[in-house]
Amino acid sequence: MKKKVLFADTHELLEADLKRTERAALQGASFYWEGEVLAHLGGTSFFMTKALSQMSSSMKASFKQQVISFIDQGDYATSSYVGFFSMLQSLLNSISTSSFDLNWIAQALENSGFRRNKKMMTRFLLQWRERDSNIIDQDVLSFLNDASPHRNGPRHVLSDDPEKSWLTNEEYDGLLSVVWKNYDNGTSCTQVTLIKLLSMQYARRPIQIAYLKVGDICNSDSLGNIGHYIDFPGAKDLAAETSFRDSKPETHPLPDHIWDLCCIQLQEVRELYENVLSRTLTDDQFKILPLFCSKRRIKEAQQLIETRHQYNLLDHLGSELLHLPK
Q: What's the rounded Cα separation, in Å, for the pair 27 and 71? A: 6
pTM higher than the cut 0.75: no
- pLDDT recorded at residue 19: 34
- pLDDT recorded at residue 168: 64
- Cα dihedral 118, 120, 123, 129 sign: negative
Q: What's the rounded Cα separation, in Å, for the pair 239 and 241? A: 6
Q: Which residues of the chain have pLDDT under 70?
A: 1-29, 42, 149-171, 220-225, 235-244, 326
DSSP β-bridge partners for residue 217: 230
- pLDDT recorded at residue 54: 92
Contacts 24+ apart (CB under 8 A), 26-30: 26/71, 26/72, 26/74, 27/71, 27/72, 27/74, 27/78, 27/81, 28/68, 28/69, 28/71, 28/72, 28/74, 30/78
Q: Which of 24, 31, 123 is nearest to 71 (CA)?
A: 31
- pLDDT recorded at residue 38: 93
CA dihedral 276→277→280→286, nearest 10 degrees, is -90
Q: What's the rounded Cα separation, in Å, for the pair 240 and 255? A: 30
Question: What do you get for the CA distance between the two ends of the chain, in Å?
Answer: 79
Q: Which of 121, 85, 92 is nearest to 256 (CA)?
A: 85
Q: Are 100 and 121 in contact (CB under 8 A)?
A: no
- pLDDT recorded at residue 224: 64
